[in-house]
């Protein structure tokens, strides 16, 4: 292998190698835990398997056939992982529905059964003639479905009157890199087989750099938000989108029940810098973070008070996120105009007996 081949191997293989570790990070170590991060981890892992197989095959045509089967099996999950990542991220979905489970179970069963009944080492002609075509058409189908999910961001991208947010640029970048990799592999007869691997390596390092930049930017913005953004208003359309995400996170994930919840934790959940969440609460909702969070806690406490349960009043306060009885009582009285005990007594008085 000459020097040029060595450099080509290094550049193309490095993306697959680092992609594996990056996928492990998103699957097991990234905080806070978000459903979309799991799908991003699956996406990067599937791409790493596919790319790793391509690199090895390019430089070693005598590669064991089972490696080719593993790479193609990983390729089968690229499209679905991309689609569900974008859908869960854009729509802020935090729970896997039974429909999603059914889709992934059917896809997993299909590719595993195909590999068991017709393993690549024994039936390479079946894989090359039928399975490979199925895999790429399935990938294309989910690429088109993901494009539909991104339609609003794409419209904003070409609209002079609308501004694309940082998160939308991130989503579009993930989609664009995935599409380029697909095109490089789908049109193998017309392009170098290693091109997809090089694109992936470039994409992996771009993702890593952008991810690090976002972390540093959020920290820097938090430290300098008072001086840097004194007069800058949030775009109304952007504010509406953020408020919708915020309410979804609070109602579906019920993160307000965490007594140590901080502004930066909620900001990370909805994917914006902490200083912008603070600005959103103050300018658009007219509340500070403490009041906003406590309103959800008190609403949840009232719901518990109206149902049969085994919790004491102090237990209810702890359940909804207050770290002390006195804070719960004081906040409840401030929001509802009465103590929890009086609220419960009023409920009992108004409940008809049978």
The fold of 236-350 is Arc Repressor Mutant, subunit A (1.10.10)
pLDDT(164) > 80? no
Overall pTM surpassing 0.75 (yes/no)? no
pLDDT at 325: 87
Higher pLDDT, 15 or 262: 262
Rg (Cα) of the chain, in Å, rounded?
Answer: 25
Higher pLDDT, 353 or 317: 317
pLDDT at 181: 81
Q: What's the pLDDT band for 83 if we cut at 50, 70, 90?
A: very high
pLDDT at 225: 44
Q: What does the angle CA 88 – CA 287 – CA 303 come to, to the nearest 5 degrees?
A: 65
pLDDT at 197: 55
Q: What does the angle CA 222 – CA 92 – CA 83 come to, to the nearest 5 degrees?
A: 120
pLDDT(147) > 90? yes
Q: What's the pLDDT band for 293 if we cut at 50, 70, 90?
A: very high
- Domain(s) of CATH 1.20.1070: residues in the chain: 3-221
Burial of 59 (C-beta count, 10 Å sphere; 0-12/13-18/19+): middle
Three-state secondary structure string covering the chain: CCHHHHHHHHHHHHHHHHHHHHHHHHHHHCCCCCHHHHHHHHHHHHHHHHHHHHHHHHHCCCCCHHHHHHHHHHHCCHHHHHHHHHHHHHCCCCCCCHHHHHHHHHHHHHHHHHHHHCCCCCCHHHHHHHHHHHHHHHHHHHHHHHHHHCHHHHHHHCCCCCCCCHHHHHHHHHHHHHHHHHHHHHCHHHCCCCHHHHHHHHHHHHHHHHHHHHHHHHHHHHHHHHHHCCCCCCCHHHHHHHHHHHHHHHHHHCHHHCCCCCHHHHHHHHCCCHHHHHHHHHHHCCCCHHHHHHHHHHHHHHHHHCCCCCCCHHHHHHHCCCCCHHHHHHHHHHHHCCCHHHHHHHHHHHCCCC
Give per-residue pLDDT as tens, 100-135: 999 989 999 999 999 999 999 999 999 988 998 999
Least confident of 35-44, 163-172, 173-182: 163-172
- Domain(s) of CATH 1.10.10.60: residues in the chain: 236-350
Class at the top of the CATH hierarchy for domain 3-221: mainly alpha
What does pLDDT average to over the chain?
A: 80
pLDDT(349) > 60? yes
pLDDT at 163: 75
Average pLDDT over residues 236-246: 88
pLDDT at 113: 94
């Amino acid at each position: 292998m000459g020097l040029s081949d060595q450099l080509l191997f290094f550049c193309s293989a490095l993306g697959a190698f680092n992609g594996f570790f990056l996928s492990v990070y998103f699957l097991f170590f990234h905080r806070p835990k978000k459903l979309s991060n799991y799908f991003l981890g699956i996406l990067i892992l599937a791409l790493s398997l596919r790319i790793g197989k391509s690199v090895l095959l390019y430089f070693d045509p005598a590669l064991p056939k089972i490696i080719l089967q593993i790479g193609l099996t990983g390729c089968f999950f690229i499209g679905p992982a991309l689609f569900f990542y974008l859908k869960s991220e854009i729509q802020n979905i935090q729970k896997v529905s039974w429909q999603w489970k059914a889709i992934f179970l059917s896809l997993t069963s299909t590719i595993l059964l195909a590999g068991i009944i017709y393993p690549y080492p024994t039936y390479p002609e079946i894989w090359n003639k039928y399975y490979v075509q199925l895999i790429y058409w399935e990938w294309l189908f989910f690429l088109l479905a993901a494009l539909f999910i991104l339609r609003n961001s794409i419209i904003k991208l070409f609209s002079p009157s609308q501004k694309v947010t940082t998160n939308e640029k991130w989503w579009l970048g993930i989609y664009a890199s995935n599409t380029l990799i697909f095109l490089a592999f789908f049109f193998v007869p017309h392009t170098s087989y290693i091109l997809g691997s090089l694109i992936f390596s470039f994409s992996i390092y771009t993702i890593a750099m952008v991810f690090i930049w976002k972390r540093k930017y959020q920290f820097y913005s938090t430290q300098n938000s008072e001086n840097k953004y004194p007069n800058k208003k949030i775009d109304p359309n952007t504010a509406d989108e953020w408020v919708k995400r915020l309410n979804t996170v609070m109602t579906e994930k019920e993160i307000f029940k965490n007594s140590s919840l901080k502004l930066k934790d909620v900001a990370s959940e909805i994917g914006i810098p902490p200083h912008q969440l603070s600005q959103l609460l103050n300018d658009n909702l007219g509340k500070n973070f403490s009041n906003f969070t406590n309103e959800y806690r008190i609403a949840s406490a009232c719901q518990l008070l109206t149902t049969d349960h085994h919790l004491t009043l102090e237990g209810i306060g702890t359940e909804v996120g207050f770290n002390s009885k006195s804070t719960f009582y004081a906040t409840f009285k401030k929001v509802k105009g009465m103590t929890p005990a009086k609220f419960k007594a009023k409920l009992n008085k108004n409940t008809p007996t049978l």
